[in-house]
Amino acid sequence: MPTITIDGEKYQVDGEQNLLSTCLTLGLNVPYFCWHPEMGSVGACRQCAMMEYKDSEDQHGRLIMSCMTPIRDGGIYSVKDEVAEEFRGSIIEDLMTNHPHDCPVCEEGGECHLQDMTEMSGHTMRRYRGTKRTHRNQYLGPFINHEMNRCITCYRCVRFYNDYAGGEDLQALGRNHQVYFGRQEEGRLENGFSGNLVEVCPTGVFTDKTFSSHFVRKWDLQTAPSVCEHCAVGCNTAPGARESGNSNEPILRRITNLYHHDINGYFLCDRGRFGYEYINSATRIQNVLSVRQEDVISSTAEKGDRMHREINPQEAVLHLAEQIAMANQGKRNLIGIGSPRTSLENNYALRKLVGSGNFYSGLSQKDQELLHLVSTIQQDDRIQSPSTPEIENADAILILGEDIYNTAPRISLAVRQAARNRQKQQAKSLKIPLWQDSSVRQLEGDYSPIIFAGTELSNLEKITSNTLFESPEKVASFACNLALAISDPTSLSPDLEPSLLELITHTAGILRGSSKPLIISGTSSKHADTLKSVAQVATVLSDYKKQPTMLYLACDEVNSLGLIQFFNDGKGNLDELLERLKKNTDNQIPTSLMILENDLYRRLDKKSLEQLLSQADEIILLDTLLNPTSKRADWIFPASVTAESQGTFINNNGLAQRFYAVYEGKGFIQESWRWLMDAVNFCTEKPANLSAIAEWQHSTDLSDAIAREFPVLKALDSLGPDEDFRIDGLKVARQSARYSGRTAIHAEKQVSENPPLQDPDAPMSFSMEGIHNPNRSPLQANIWSPGWNSNQSIFKFQEEVGGERRGGPSGIRIERPQRVMPEWPAPSTPPEVAADPSHVQMLPLYRLFGSEELSNQAMGISEVIEAPFVMVNHIDAKAFDIHQRELIELETSCGTYRAEVRISPTIPSGTVGIPYGLPDFETLSPLLPGYASLRPAEAPAITED
Amino acid sequence: MSSLLEPELIEVMEHSNRDSDKFSGPLTAEEKEEIDREASHYENKSSVGLEALRIVQKHRRWISDDTIQAISNYLDIPVAELESVATYFQLIFRQPVGKEVIYLCKSASCWVMGCDRLQKHITETLAIEPGQTSADGIFTLLETPCLGDCDKAPVLMLGEEMHRNLDESAIDDLIDKKKKYHADKSPD
Ligand code: SF4
Ligand code: SF4
Ligand code: FES
Ligand code: FES
């Protein structure tokens, strides 16, 4: 380890880093702009100047840019040297000649890296008295504000957006004094990671537009560590909330990234960042509702739709208590339906209440089997689920049947970095340090091999070396043959089409020849054979290389992999429930269905679902948003969303992560399990088997119970910290020390200050009292350090720049028993049939915006969701005489859908692509993949039957 | 250059440069052919962006929004990337220019030798400020940094020809010559 001297102090340091990041790791304050921990150095801003001395005799030294300086063993440097200080101050002064003096109205203010650096440089007086350069701003879509006058030309935005995230519509335009960062013309920034510009830009050029409409300063936000609920990657977030202006109820105001070394690092996707608005949307359930008895006479209401009225929660809880009591006397069936989009704790509570025999997963048979498969595959010790840094280090990637940009967005960003590994390898051999960003990027050379086979590939096409667009059946058979080719190339069938054969042999060669191959697949094709064949490729590769194969499997929802752990016997899906209820018809006992945070219309086809619901005498729903299922409910309880509750999710890697409540939900909103607990407490005679429920107080009581009852989920008892955790006798503060208005905010109602809301459930306070140091626990989500108000301060809380967080890891992998997966028979090769419009296979296509249920209700996102469409192969389109943008009808087993045609050269012939979960197409999702017939739409429009 | 006290509004790509005249629209066969010929010198088509802009500008005098889009479509280069190139290079015009573009050198030697005086003269003669085009559509005046002919300062470049050791009368001659040339030519 090299030893260096900085301002007279000796340090042992990591010689791989540049001087700037070394200084930051040492905790020294060196100002900078253009360097970014994840994107390296380009030496553009000149802010990071330091002095370097030849030897101890050298009295003058020479000015260097620390971000561009490699560490020299025995090197002598200075941050504090007057010349360096003066230079840094003059850089700020230069930047300030054009920077507007608009901090008070700038939304970056209070967490602005430019403010921080200005303070740090000591340049506090402005001598320039001239006019400033002014720009016109652009409309960049519903997510991001543009205020170009604040630009300091550090180039971070384009380096992130183009180089790092592969965007193409943001550029540095113009030259000299007039450089402009914007689009060619106004319009939405198209890249799905654009929201990171808000954090990447050191000034207020790019700010969060959704936050703008309910803006407060960073120091006025109350935060807690949370987990993004919009896909199963499990990115960590720091939601921020504060009382709204005209009521005392806090509202969620924004989401920012919360650094997690193994998952999201410094970046989130736009669904995760802007999806939060669903929480404040008009569809949010805020009160306890019960059905109104009168019939609905309304043209828009469908058969079976119910109208609701607000009722006193006590009435509803009492009713629930009665039903529980009845169930315990054997006079009522109480059936619980769980959900992959809520916590383990909520699912467990419902399971406990209704009994395991009456608890169903809320998934269709198909979906549940797929998840079961994922879990089975991950249990094999020849398989390893890679973390994000591991994905970024892979030197060859095979993606099968998963459009990851739309199903596991953050992972696609990691894959994009992996594509550069050949370039990085070359840099290493030329002894160019990897942090020398522009030098490394200039190296010629191909991307590392990325091979894709599946229905649709978004965002990554340009860096993919080979693509095969085929139906899931053919993808499975491709994978199967690939497995053969890896173990024994001679065993391949000679009947294979030559081009396919070539791709198979090529891919096998790449996988065999690489040292860190990675395979990515998942459940989104909804095709078990694909998963099985993928597993086979992975195991064969592992046998060949004598090391576990990295296999990333993406699941559909945030807690898919958690929920499935309650159903390890493979039972409990909705199709089984339907069968059971159908058989029950002559049984005289009435049935109550309790549905937990689940829109069943997205799970089961409409016909089966109607049947299922009609078998129940009563439907009780606990949920966050009104949805088609809620229209059928007799009782609705308002449930808290992720940011309002505590619980555990298990991500695609099997990592159990706890999230904490950021604020308390409005009014009667509470965690679903609390409604169940309340009901049990209302039972006059508490049945013995439910006494445990009555005793629950905190979410952790449930976590511990889960850990005791389910050995695979044992990790839950070591997750933490729990509510009794204290640092120096204190809780961690959710509010910053400067949280303003505490004594005034409620003054119009009461002049004396309200005591802060107590939180018995978490080791955090809903106030500014407590510990504020993110070094001492992972609980602190407000990342701040003196002098570092912006999110750049995260380096103060990492082991080293870009390393693990010092406050301890968040998340523990669940321990599933190691088990060799069964040998599945090879899938039969699908017969070739001519495309036939009366029998097309519908395949799901996913969209970053539009496929996920909750974020679809966010205002910004709802603006950019595409209209539903049917994607048709271009050759088929000719044969069927169908044209682009023509209206078409899709006749399915559950009604007719109509949408515009989109012609595509890649969608496999004989299939049509159907956007999954898009508004108006939600009820089509359970039918995917399935068959339908196509015909030109005839007026008048009919939707569904 | 605006005065210190007047706000200087920077007109980079911040406003649309749509143009409905004949300088827009899809690339002609001739333009495409020239681009292809140039592209054959490069490893891939996408590196030829700057040359393509020059080629098309030669035919159309300037690059309108529609033109840049047409090049982008033809070469499959993101339009923002082309714009970035177009606005970086001073010799690519994203706004209409006259038939003759005057680049007046404003760097040190020419400044010492009186380029400001020359600029004033041009401005008065043609009634145009830098960045503007004369009413007859013939001349556009632009300022440029050092043209590399300092020993013959002050200098300007007219189209592709250099004119050195200039004074007011030399400028008058130049202007007259060009005016006459364009008057003789059938109007295009
Ligand atoms: S917009 Fe922001 S990130 Fe981009 S160059 Fe300007 S200051 Fe830097
Ligand atoms: S990748 Fe998934 S978990 Fe991460 S921010 Fe996006 S939606 Fe959320
Ligand atoms: S941070 Fe070193 S030059 Fe910008
Ligand atoms: S200064 Fe005008 S040519 Fe050099």
Ligand 1 centre to CA of A175 (Å) is 14
Angle between helices A606-614 and A574-583 (to 10 degrees): 50
For the cut 60, the answer to whether the pLDDT of residue B4 exceeds it is no
Categorize the per-residue pLDDT at B5 as very low, low, confident or very high, splitting at 50, 70 and 90. Answer: very low
B87: contact with A, CB 8 A cutoff: yes
C-alpha distance from B79 to closest chain A C-alpha (Å): 7
Asked if A387 and A262 count as a contact pair (C-beta separation under 8 A), the reply is yes
pLDDT of residue A520: 98
Distance CA A719, CA B88 (A): 54
d(CA A197, ligand 1 centre) in Å? 9
Q: Which of A193, A226, A235 to mutate to test the pocket of ligand 2 (most atoms within 8 A of CB)?
A: A235
In the 3-class helix/strand/coil scheme, how is B133-155 assigned residue by residue? Answer: ECCCCCEEEEEECCCCCHHHCCC
Q: Residues A180-232: pLDDT tens digits?
A: 999 999 999 999 999 999 999 999 999 999 999 999 999 999 999 999 999 99
The answer to whether A624 touches A651, Cβ cutoff 8 Å, is: no
Chain B contacts of A172, Cβ < 8 Å? 84
**H-helix or E-strand containing A655?**
strand A655-659
Task: Report the gap between the CA of A176 and the closest CA in chain B (Å).
Answer: 9
Q: Say if the Cβ atoms of B87 and A173 lie within 8 Å.
A: yes
Give dist(CA A923, CA A872) in Å, integer: 20
Say whether residue A169 is in contact with chain B using an 8 A CB cutoff: yes
Q: Give the rounded distance of the alpha carbon of A295 from its chain centre.
A: 41
- Phi, then psi, of A517 in degrees rounded to 5: -70, 150
**Residue A133 forms contact with B (CB below 8 Å):** yes
Beta-bridge partners for A550 = A384, A518
Q: From the CA of A204, how far away is ligand 1's center (Å)?
A: 8
State the pLDDT at residue A738.
Answer: 92
- Interchain pair B7, A172: CB under 8 A: no
What value does the mean pLDDT take over residues A769-781?
Answer: 90
CA-based nearest residue to A152, from A164, A166, A135, A131: A135
pLDDT at res. A301 = 55
Give the Cα separation of A121 and A103 in Å (integer).
Answer: 18
In this predicted structure, the answer to whether residue A808 has a pLDDT above a threshold of 80 is no
The position carrying tokens 């790092």 is A164
Distance A128 CA to ligand 4 centre (A): 29
List the strands of the sheet with B139-144, edge to edge: B139-144, B100-105, B156-158, B161-163
What's the one-letter identity of residue A695? E
Interchain pair A131, B13: CB under 8 A: no
Cα dihedral value A692, A698, A700, A706, nearest 10? 30
Ligand 3 mean position to A49 CA, how many Å? 8
Q: Is A34 in the pocket of ligand 1 (CB under 6 A)?
A: no
Work out the pLDDT band at B45, boundaries 50, 70, 90.
Answer: confident
Ligand 4 proximity of B80 Cβ (cutoff 6 Å): no
B interface test, pick of A97, A98, A157, A173 with most B CB neighbours within 10 Å: A173
Give B143's contacts in chain A (Cβ within 8 Å). Answer: none
| Per-residue pLDDT at A294 | 64
Pick the CATH number of A3-96 from 3.10.20.740, 1.20.140.10, 3.90.180.10, 3.90.25.10: 3.10.20.740
| CA-based nearest residue to A37, from A778, A784, A796 | A796
List beta partners, residue A915. A845
| Over residues A866-870, mean pLDDT | 96
Report the gap between the CA of A153 and the closest CA in chain B (Å).
Answer: 14
| pLDDT given at position B8 | 45
Please give the number of the atom of ligand 2 that sits closest to the Cα of A269. 6
- pLDDT grade for A587, boundaries at 50, 70 and 90: low
- Nearest CA-CA distance, residue A456 and chain B, Å: 21
Select from A519, A525, A511 the least CA-distant residue to A401: A525
CB A425 within 8 A of CB A546: no
Cα A415 to averaged position of ligand 2 atoms, centre (Å): 15
Among A839, A858, A834, residue whose Cα is nearest residue A909: A834
Q: Can A3-96 and A369-406+448-555 be said to share one CATH topology?
A: no
Asked if the Cβ–Cβ distance from B80 to A130 is below 8 Å, we say no
Distance, CA of A426 to CA of A851 (rounded, Å): 39
Q: What is the chain A residue with the closest CA to B9?
A: A134
Percent of chain A with pLDDT over 90: 86
A131 to B78: CB separation less than 8 angstroms, yes or no: no
Tell me which residue has tokens 């606990």: A622
How far, in Å, CA of A268 to CA of A259, rounded?
10
Q: Which two tokens stand for residue A887?
A: 């209206």
Q: Whose CA is nearest to atom 4 of ligand 1?
A: A157
Judged by a CB distance cut-off of 8 A, whether residue A182 touches chain B is yes
Determine if ligand 3 sits within 6 Å of the CB of residue A34.
yes
Q: What are phi and psi of A100, to 5 degrees?
A: -65, 155
* Cα of B86 to nearest chain A Cα, Å: 8
Cβ B87–A136 below 8 Å, yes or no?
A: no
CB-CB under 8 Å, B80 with A168: yes
Tokens of A125: 């007086």
Residue A588 is predicted with a pLDDT of 78
d(CA A406, CA B17): 35
| A759: three-class secondary structure by DSSP | coil
First to last CA, chain B: 32
Q: To probe the interface with A, which of B3, B6, B8, B10 has the most A CB atoms within 10 Å?
A: B10
- For residue B184, the model assigns a pLDDT of 85
Mean pLDDT of chain A: 93
pLDDT tens digits for B19-35? 555 556 789 999 999 99
Tell me: the pLDDT tens digits for A564-574? 999 988 899 99
Instruction: Output the CA A271–ligand 2 centroid distance in Å.
Output: 7
Cβ contact A175–B88 (<8 Å): yes
- Using the predicted structure, report yes or no on whether residue A901 has a pLDDT greater than 60: yes
Helices (H) and strands (E) in chain B, counts: 7, 4
Q: pLDDT by residue (tens digit) across A125-134?
A: 889 999 999 9
Record the tokens describing residue A580, joined without a space: 């059971």
- Would you call B12 and A171 a contact, using CB atoms and an 8 Å cutoff? no
Residue-wise pLDDT tens digits, A294-336: 655 555 556 667 889 999 999 999 999 999 999 998 899 999 9
pLDDT of B2 reads: 38
What is the least distance, in Å, from the CA of B90 to any CA of chain A? 9
What distance in Å separates the CA atoms of residue A248 and residue A243, rounded to the nearest whole number?
5
- Is the full-model pTM beyond 0.90? yes
Give every CB contact of residue A499 below 8 A, 6+ residues apart in sequence.
none
A7's CB contacts (< 8 A; 6+ apart) are: A77, A78, A79, A80, A81
Enumerate the domain spans of chain A: 3-96, 289-293+305-364+573-655+666-718, 369-406+448-555, 840-936
Look at strands A887-892 and A895-904 and give their pairing: antiparallel
Instruction: Delineate the domains of chain B, giving CATH numbers in brackets.
Output: 7-88 (no CATH), 100-184 (3.40.30.10)
Q: What is the pLDDT of residue B11?
A: 46
pLDDT digits (tens, 9 = 90+) for A462-503: 999 999 999 999 999 999 999 999 998 888 888 889 999 999
Looking at residue A601, the DSSP 8-state letter turns out to be: G
- CB contact (8 A) between residue B13 and residue A174: yes
Angstrom distance (rounded) from CA A128 to CA A132: 10
The predicted-structure confidence for A504-541, as pLDDT tens digits, reads as follows 999 999 999 999 999 999 999 999 999 999 999 999 99
Could you please report the per-residue DSSP string of A226-275? Answer: EE--SSSS--EEEEEEEE-TTSS-EEEEEEEE--BTTTTBT---HHHHHG
Residue-wise DSSP of A186-200:
SS---STTGGGHHHH
Question: How many whole angstroms separate alpha carbon A39 and alpha carbon A430?
Answer: 20
pLDDT at A774: 86
Give the residue from B11, B13, B94, B106 with the most A CB atoms within 10 Å of its CB, the best one to mutate: B13
**CB-based contact B87 A169, cutoff 8 Å:** no
Q: Decide if A131 touches B, using CB distance below 8 A.
A: yes
**Does the C-beta of A151 come closer than 6 Å to ligand 1?**
yes
Which pLDDT does position B15 carry in this prediction?
45
Q: Is A56 on the interface with B (CB under 8 A)?
A: no
Closest CA to A901 of A835, A837, A833, A855: A837
A 10 A CB-CB count for A14 gives 13
Locate A569 and state its tokens.
């016997």
* Chain A, nearest residue to B5 by Cα: A131
Which residue of A131, A133, A175 is in closest CB contact with B87?
A: A175
CB contact under 8 A, B84 and A136: no
Q: With a cut of 50, say whether residue B6 has pLDDT above it.
A: no
> Could you confirm whether domain A289-293+305-364+573-655+666-718 is CATH 3.30.200.20?
no
Structure tokens at A704: 């511990």
The confidence band for B167, taking pLDDT boundaries of 50, 70 and 90, is: very high
Partner-chain contact B88 A174, CB within 8 Å: yes
User: Closest chain B residue to A178 measured between Cα atoms?
Assistant: B10
How high is the pLDDT of residue A312? 95
Residues 13-72 of B with CB under 8 A from A: 13-16, 65, 68
pLDDT of residue B1: 37
A132 Cα–ligand 2 center, Å: 40
Of A94-103, A808-817, A844-853, B147-156, the least confident: A808-817
Tokens representing residue A440 in the block: 């490394």
Among 2.40.40.20, 3.40.640.10, 3.30.300.30, 3.40.1580.10, name the CATH number for the domain at A840-936: 2.40.40.20
* Residues A446-468 pLDDT 10s: 889 999 999 999 999 999 999 99
pLDDT over 80 (residue A62)? yes
Query: CB neighbours of A842 closer than 8 A, spacing ≥ 6?
Result: A890, A892, A911, A912, A913, A914, A924, A927, A928, A929, A930, A931, A932
- Going from the Cα of B112 to the center of ligand 4, the distance in angstroms, rounded, reads 10
Instruction: Tell me which architecture the domain covering A369-406+448-555 has in CATH.
Output: 3-Layer(aba) Sandwich (3.40)
A18-29 pLDDT, tens digit each: 999 999 999 999
B81 touches chain A (CB under 8 A): yes
Report how far residue A671's alpha carbon sits from residue A663's, in angstroms, rounded to the nearest whole number.
12
Mean pLDDT to the nearest integer, A404-408 = 98
pLDDT band at A355 (very low <50, low <70, confident <90, very high): very high
- In this prediction the ipTM stands at 0.86
Q: How many CB atoms lie within 10 A of CB B165?
A: 12
